[in-house]
Amino acid sequence: MACASHPHWGSLVGVCTSSSDVERLSLHTSSEADGIQALRKISRLSSESYDRVQTELGRQIDMPTLQAALLLARDPKTVSHLADPPVLKACVRLMKSVEESNPTEITPFSHEYGFLCFRLFVAVFNVCFLKRWDKLEEALPLCDRDPELAAHTFTSWSAPANLLQPALLPLSDVSILFDLIWNDRKQFLLSHIPFTPESTGLSGLIFLFSRYVANERTNKKQLQHKLYEIALRYVLIADPGQRRATIDVIDANKCADDWFVTPKHIDADDSRFILCAYLRTMTLYKDIYTTLHPPVMLRLVALSVDDSSQDMLPEVVRWTIEYGWRRFLSLDDEEDNFEMFIHLFVSSLSFLLLPPLDNEVRLVPSTQSKIIDTMHKGGLLDWVARALIRLRPPSSLAESEENGDNDVSANTCPSGGKSTDYSPRCRLAYLRFIESITSIVHMPGSGWLRTWGSNPRLTSTRAHTVTTGKLSVVRGLGLAVAGVFTLGIAMTVASEWTGNSSIPIHITDTCTTPA
C-alpha cells in the first residue's frame, strides 16, 4: 500500500522513508553542479526575514533541492562545498516555517522536508566547524581509509582551547533551533530510530547548544534541564563516537535534583520509543559493554517508564544486568575505575527500579514477577556477591573496625561462623541497592526463596549452613549472609523489615569459581 505524502512536506519520517547520508558515493560532475546550485539557492534565504521565508520564499526550496545539496556530503571530493555558513541560517528559517505551517500536526521532525533541512544543517555545521579549526583537510583522508566515514567522520573533531573564532550562527538562531528541537523532542527521537544511527552525527550540534546555554543569563536552569534531556535522548540512538562526545557534554552540564523528580516522556508512545531506543542500542553495539555509557542512558529511561510501557521494563532490566556482568568480568580489580563501575552500576539499577519520581509508577503483579525472574536468571544476586568479594574486604573484623566501620559488633553473625566485612567505602551504595530492589518488587520474603535456585555462572561454591535464628541488631538490622546463594535470604529478611536506616551485611568464608 502506498503511503500518503504531503505535496510539499513529503512523507512521514519513519514510516515511508529510508535514507542514509553516510553511504559513500562518487558524484558525477553534473550532480556536483546541481548540489552547488542548490546550496546557493538555499543560502539566499539567510538574509531574509522569517516571515518572508514562511509566506513566500520558502516554497521555492523543495525536497529535490534539499536532496541535491545533501548529496555533496557523501563524496569526500565534494564535501568541502558545504563550508557555507549562510546555509545554516537558511536551514533554521526553513525548519521554523515547518513549525508554523498548517496543518498543525506537521512538525520539523514529523515529515521529510523538515528532517532534510535538519540533516543539511548538521552536515554544513560539521564541515564549517572543521574548516574554522583547520581540521577539514586532516579529516578528508580518513574517508579513503573507511568508506563508511564519507560524511560521518566530520563530527569527530577536536579544537584548540585557546583559539577563538567568529560565530558560525547568531545566538538568536541557535536559540530558535534549540526550541524547535525541544518542542518536537518526541519526533526528534523517533525520526532517528528507523535510520542507521551513524546517519547524522549530532555531537557537534550538542556542543553548540552547550555553548549557547553557557552564554545565557536568563532562565539558565531551565535551559540546562532542556539541554540535559535533549542530549540524553540523542545518546540513546547515537553511535559509539557520537555517544562518547555527547556524554562529555552531559557530564559537564549537571542538573539539580529537581530534574529527577518528574517524568520525561511526552506521552505513552514517547515512553515506549525511549525504552525501545535503549534496548536497540544495547543489542546493536557490543562495544557499549566496555564503557560506562549505559548508566548515563538509564537516567532518562528510568524517568520515562509509565503504565503503558512497564511491560518492557523486565527486558530493560535483563540487558542492564547483562551489561553489568560483561563489564564486571572484563575489569581487573586493580583498575582505577573498578570501584567506579560498581558504584555506577548499582546506583543506576537502583534508580531504574525505584526512580525518585513525585508520582511513581505502580508496577502490576505480572511486571513485578517478570522482574524478579529476570534478576534470578541473570544472576543479579551472584553479581552482588562477587562484587563484595572482589572489593577485597578486610581479612578480619578487627581490621574492619580499624578501618572505621564501627557499626558492626562480633555477635552480629551466627556463632561459629567466621565473618569478614566488605569495603566500608562501598557499603552504603549496596544498602541502598538492596533496599531499592526489595521496595520496588513488593514481594513477601518467601518470594525470593521460591525463585532462587542454582547459579549457572558459578561452577563451585563453598558456603556455611544458613542460620535462620535470631540475628543481633546493631544500629539497624544485622544480617548474616552465609555464602553466595544465601545472599537472597539477606534480601528476603531485609524486605520484611521497615524503618531500618542501615543494613550491615556480612559474608562468611566463600569460594567462588567463574564458570
Which position has the higher pLDDT, 380 or 104?
Answer: 380
Report the 3 state secondary structure along 258-321: HHHHCCCCCCHHHHHHHHHHHHHHHHHCHHHHHCCHHHHHHHHHHCCCCCCCHHHHHHHHHHHH
Q: Which of 123-137, 224-238, 407-421 has the lowest mean pLDDT?
A: 407-421
pLDDT (mean) for 86-97: 92
Q: Is 286 exposed, middle or buried (CB count within 10 Å of its CB: 0-12, 13-18, 19+)? A: exposed
Q: What is the pTM of this model?
A: 0.74
Using an 8 Å Cβ cutoff, are 133 and 82 in contact? Answer: no
Q: Are strands 479-481 and 505-508 parallel, antiparallel or unpaired?
A: parallel
Which position has the higher pLDDT, 500 or 396?
Answer: 396
**Integer Cα distance of 493 and 409 in angstroms:** 19
pLDDT of 240 strictly over 60: yes
Span 433-474, pLDDT tens digits:
555 544 444 333 323 323 333 333 332 222 222 222 222 222
pLDDT at 222: 92
pLDDT at 30: 86
> ∠ CA 492-498-500 to the nearest 5 degrees?
100
Report the 3 state secondary structure along 40-66: HHHHHHHHCCHHHHHHCHHHHCCHHHH
Confidence label for 421 from pLDDT (cuts 50, 70 and 90): very low
Which position has the higher pLDDT, 274 or 24?
Answer: 274
**Integer Cα distance of 264 and 361 in angstroms:** 13
Helix (H, G, I), strand (E, B) or coil at 460: strand
Span 37-50, pLDDT tens digits:
999 999 988 887 77
Q: Are strands 419-421 and 10-11 parallel, antiparallel or unpaired?
A: unpaired
Confidence label for 304 from pLDDT (cuts 50, 70 and 90): very high
pLDDT (mean) for 335-353: 84
pLDDT at 157: 32
Which helix (H) or strand (E) element contains residue 366?
Answer: helix 365-378
> If you average pLDDT over every residue of the chain, what do you get?
71
pLDDT at 133: 62
Which position has the higher pLDDT, 160 or 365?
Answer: 365
Helix (H, G, I), strand (E, B) or coil at 508: strand
C-alpha cell at 26: 562518487
**Integer Cα distance of 88 and 8 in angstroms:** 21
C-alpha cell at 232: 540524553
pLDDT of 284 strictly over 60: yes
pLDDT of 384 strictly over 80: yes
Rg for the chain, CA atoms, rounded: 27
* Cα Dmax for the chain: 87
pLDDT at 216: 85
pLDDT (mean) for 69-81: 85
pLDDT (mean) for 294-307: 95
